[in-house]
Amino acid sequence: MSSSPRNTAGRPLSSVRSVLVALLGALVPLLAATVLTAPAATARSQQVAAVPPATLTEVTGFGSNPSNLQMYLYVPESVTARPAVVVAVHYCTGSGPAMYTNTEWASLADRYGFVVVYPSVTRASKCFDVASPQALKRDGGSDPVGIKSMVDWVTRTYSADPGRIFATGISSGAMMTNVLLGDYPDVFAAGAAFSGVPFGCFATTDGSEWNSACANGTVTRTPEAWGDLVRAAHPGYTGPRPRMQLWHGTEDDVLRYPNFGEEIKQWTNVLGVGQTPSATDSPVSGWIRTRYGSTGDRAPVEAISLQGVGHNLYSNGMASHALRFFGLDSSGPAPQPQPGACKVTAGTSAWSTGLTGSVTLTNTGTTAVNGWRLAFTLPAGQTVTNGWGATYAPASGTVTATNASYNGTIAPNASVSIGYQASHGGDSGPPTGFTLNGTACATG
C-alpha cells in the first residue's frame, strides 16, 4: 500500500496544503483591509503634521506665486476642525516673521484654534504691490495671486472653512487688505486694515510702488467712483462682498488721515449701506468708532479713528477688536480692552536732541497683576536709547515695556515707575495709547 507524500516534519503534504489554503483565505481579507485603510490613515497623519504645531514655519511650493512671495504659517497645538484662516500682512520694511513677532495673531490663534498665514515680500522695498495694474485685478499676476495660493494651500491641507477666511494688515499690509478684498470678494469674509488707503488709490502705471498724491490724502472720489474701482477688479461678480473694519490715526503723516474718510466712502458704497453711521461710540479713550449698516459687532463697515495718533497706530489689544469683528471670538470670548483697569501718568524732560521719559503705571483693578507688558506709542522721531525698570522693544513707534524680575507683580491700587532716555527729532512729547497686557489704560 503506497503512502502519501510527506514533508520533513512527517505530515502529509495534502494536509499542509489544506492548512495553507485556510490561512490564505483568512489573510486575504485582512491584507485587503490594511491596504484599503492605510492610505487614509497616512493622509490624516500628513494633514495634521503638515507643519510643526505652535511654530512659525516657512512653506514652499504652495502654488502659483508670480512675484516670489514667501509663505510663513502658524498652526496652534489646538487647531480646530475646519479652522478659520487669518492672513496677516506686514508693513513696508517688514516681513512675515516680523508680523508674527510684533502682533497678537499667533497668541489669539492659540486661544481660538484658527490658522495664521504670514505672507512675506522678497523685493527690495519689502512693500506689497498695491499699485500695479496686475495687482488691482483678479488673477492679475502679482502679489494677490501668491497670497490667494497660500490660502488655497491651507484650505486643502487643513480642511479649513472656506467661509471663514479673513485678511488684516498694517500700512502696506492694510493697503493689501483693501486689495485682497477687492480682487477676491468670493474668498475673504472680512478684513481689518490698520493705516491704509482705499482700493485703487495707490494705482500707478509707470512701475512705481509709491503714489504721493494718495499718500498725502489728496485723492478724493465720490463713493460710487471708489466703489466702481473695486467692482472692476472682478467684473461680473454679483455675490456677497466682504465686511471691512478700518483703523486710522488723526496725525498719520505717512498715509494721511483723509484716506480714512475715502475708505469709508468706498466700502459703504461697495456694501450698499449709507454713509451716515448707524452707531457711534468710544470703546477706548481717544477712539471714535462708527458703524455703518448695523449697530452690532459685525456691521458691514466699522471705522475706528484714533485721536492724536500717528501712522504706527497698531498696539496690543487692537487685534482682539478685529477678532470680534471677524466673529472668531465666539468660543471665548477673548478679553477685550476696557478703560479703567489701569492708569498711566507719563512725562518727559527734554534737551536739544534728547529726552528723559518717566512712566508710572497704577493697577486700578481688583486683582494683582502678575507679569506685565505695557505698550505705548512714541511720537514720530523718538527712539529709545536706554531704559530702566523694564526692557523696551522695539526702540521706536509702538514700544512694549516688559517688567523686570523685581517688579513683575503689581497689587491692586499699587504702582510701578519706569523710565527711559530717547533721542528726538523735534517732538519731545510723552508717549500715548497705553495698554497693559492688552487692556487699554486711562491716563492722567
Active site residues: 171
Q: b/e per residue, 112-130, with b = 16+ CB within 10 A?
A: bbbbbbbbbbeeeebbbbb
Rounded to the nearest 10 degrees, what angle do helices 318-326 and 105-112 cross at?
50
Among 197, 90, 98, 193, residue whose Cα is nearest residue 147 = 90
Buried b (16+ CB within 10 A) or exposed e, 13-44: eeeeeeeeeeeeeeeeeeeeeeeeeeeeeeee
| Buried residues in 315-350 as b, exposed as e (16+ CB within 10 A) | bbbbbbbbbbbbebbeeeebebbebebbbbbbebee
Cell of residue 39, nine digits: 492610505
Q: Quick one: how far is CA 363 from the chain centroid?
A: 29
One-letter amino acid of 311:
H
82: left (phi > 0), else alpha (psi -120 to 50), else beta? left
466699522: which residue's cell?
302
Q: Measuring CA to CA, how many Å separate 329 from each of 335, 360, 399?
A: 9, 32, 26
Q: Is 106 helix (H, G, I), strand (E, B) or coil?
A: helix
CB 392 within 8 A of CB 401: yes
Give the CA diameter of the chain.
123
Half-sphere exposure of residue 119: CA atoms within 13 angstroms, side-chain side: 39
Amino acid at 117: V
> Which residue matches cell numbers 449697530?
295
Give the integer Cα–Cα distance in Å for 318 and 328.
14
φ, ψ for residue 155 (rounded to 5)?
-60, -40
H helix or E strand, kind and range, residue 168:
strand 165-170
As a 3-state breakdown, the chain gives helix, strand, coil percent values, each rounded to 5, of: 25, 25, 50
- Classify the C-alpha dihedral 388-394-396-400 as positive or negative: negative
What one-letter code names the amino acid at 200?
A: G
Residue with the three cell numbers 461678480: 237
Q: 3-state DSSP call for residue 271?
A: coil
Please state, in angstroms and rounded to a whole number, the distance separating the CA atoms of residues 75 and 53: 5
